[in-house]
Chains A and B, each alone.
Chain A
């Protein structure tokens, strides 16, 4: 009878599994990118996925961004009370455009649309729908993954701009109505525009593109490798979201480090 693996054996198995998942995700990414020129032909499916991503993220994204912008102003006002509230505009502007907008929207997309992708593809894998496509000479990567990948990659930069805009106005709302904040709203915006450069927007948009790729490829990878019944679909969905969050933060660090001057 085979011996149960010890702690080192189990660790090795986990490392191998992580490497296998990363390998599968990379392979799926390459195959999907190769198929993107066919998006012109498959534009109906891409548009349908864009609508899905939009409906799953727009309202909750607005709410998140509004409150994060408001909280940022209140938190920062407490920290800078002995310096100057003139820095509130730059703090909110830079935080939203470079970091919070992209990461928050990426988490939202991975949590809402990404989990739905993993669950849907997982269910299709378990119930032989993916195999049925293969027997009909239909490439599941082109039919299912490419439209989701493109929709997420195109939608996330737009969501980042949307989040930046709402977050900044959320901050402005607090500046306008909170008696603790003494600077006028105009000054909040003037200082923000002095500090926030066009390049900061571009960094946020670039992050949006990369995070959009991660938030779609990772869930699709987990969806397509789902095994078992309902339990398998549930664990694939959870793993897809956790992995997406981790990879988004890892790539966030890499991009921030690369753009540091």
Chain B
């Protein structure tokens, strides 16, 4: 951990389709993400943003299409034994998804204890450093139920960082957080980008956050990528959904 070399992986999605009973959520998503880039995926509720993340991390399989991460077909990557995988992926869930019966330190070090090759002392040190990075040193022995929502999110980020992943996926990392905590999480994600160079994909409704952090922003509309551009280009977009997002974000910032 704490290796500051740039070690992100490329993510290539082509023709991703996903249907649940009679509703097709993803209708052919194509997206190429360069190594080390931070990409935000924007879209209205129910447009399949979280579904797309679940396909990338392998929690669900697409009905059609191809996912290649770090030059490896996702299916092949998922079939590899944990110790032989050429890179690591981690996901920060919307509700943090910390194991309620484990302490903060046990949650952060879980993957290392199960699959890592480090000894107990090294794991303790990695855990301490991961918690320091998210400014939660000293909470090692607390249970998730003793933490605030923002702290739980940061522990979830520390859990992801502990395995030094080349790809980190965030599902609505600032959902249900007040503006101050949202800014804190934003700063934290920005620091991770600078320090580690991992590829990061953030699903969010928060346009200001996306424009501040992301190298590129993908707008998901009706199961397809409607727009994929830099934050600057997004401001000049003629796409109706993007315009609507920009208008809503401006109103929110004005407090209307």
Contacts and interface: CB of A to CB of B under 8 A. Distances in A.
A258 interface: no
Given A124-B99, A127-B97, A131-B93, A136 B59 contact: no
Interface in A106-148: 120, 123-124, 127-129, 131-138, 143
Nearest to B80: A137
B57 interface: yes
A134 B59 contact: yes
A124 B101 CA distance: 10
A196 B91 CA distance: 59
B115 A137 contact: yes
Given A137-B111, A138-B110, A138-B111, A132 B82 contact: no
Contacts of B163: 136
A238 B58 CA distance: 31
Interface in B86-132: 89-91, 93-95, 97-101, 110-111, 114-115
B163 to A, nearest CB: 8
Contact of B59 (A127, A129, A131): A131
B99 A135 contact: no
A119 B57 CA distance: 27
Given A137-B111, A138-B110, A132 B91 contact: yes
Main secondary structure of the interface of B (DSSP, over half): loop
A138 B114 contact: yes
Contacts of B82: 137
Given A136-B110, A137-B82, A138-B110, A131 B115 contact: no
B95 A128 contact: yes
Contacts of B94: 128
Interface residues of A, number: 15
A132 B97 contact: yes
A143 B101 CA distance: 13
Contacts of B89: 135
B104 to A, nearest CB: 14
Interface in A78-124: 120, 123-124
A191 B249 CA distance: 85
Interface in A34-49: none
A136 B93 contact: no
Contact of B111 (A124, A127, A131, A136): A136
Contact of A129 (B57, B90, B91, B97): B97
Contacts of A136: 90, 110-111, 114-115, 163
In this complex, the member of A124, A129, A133 whose beta carbon has the largest number of chain B beta carbons within 10 angstroms is A129
Contacts of A120: 101
Interface in B58-101: 58-59, 82, 85, 89-91, 93-95, 97-101
B86 to A, nearest CB: 14
Contacts of A123: 100
A211 B131 CA distance: 44
A123 B101 CA distance: 12
Contacts of A129: 97-100
B91 A135 contact: yes
A133 B100 CA distance: 13
A55 to B, nearest CB: 15
Contacts of B98: 129, 132
A116 to B, nearest CB: 12
Contacts of A127: 95, 97
A123 B114 CA distance: 22
A222 to B, nearest CB: 19
B97 A128 contact: yes
Contacts of B97: 127-129, 131-132
B114 A132 contact: no
A190 B99 CA distance: 54
Contact of A135 (B59, B85, B114, B115): B59
A143 B106 CA distance: 14
B115 A132 contact: no
Contacts of A143: 114
Closest 10 CB pairs of A and B: A128-B97, A132-B97, A137-B82, A136-B111, A128-B93, A135-B91, A129-B97, A138-B114, A131-B59, A135-B57
16 contacts: A120-B101, A124-B99, A127-B95, A129-B98, A129-B99, A129-B100, A131-B97, A132-B97, A132-B99, A133-B99, A135-B58, A135-B90, A136-B110, A136-B114, A137-B111, A138-B111
Interface of A: 120, 123-124, 127-129, 131-138, 143
Given A135-B90, A138-B111, 20 more contacts: A120-B101, A129-B97, A129-B100, A131-B59, A131-B97, A132-B93, A132-B97, A132-B98, A133-B99, A134-B58, A134-B59, A135-B57, A135-B59, A135-B91, A136-B110, A136-B111, A136-B163, A137-B114, A138-B110, A143-B114
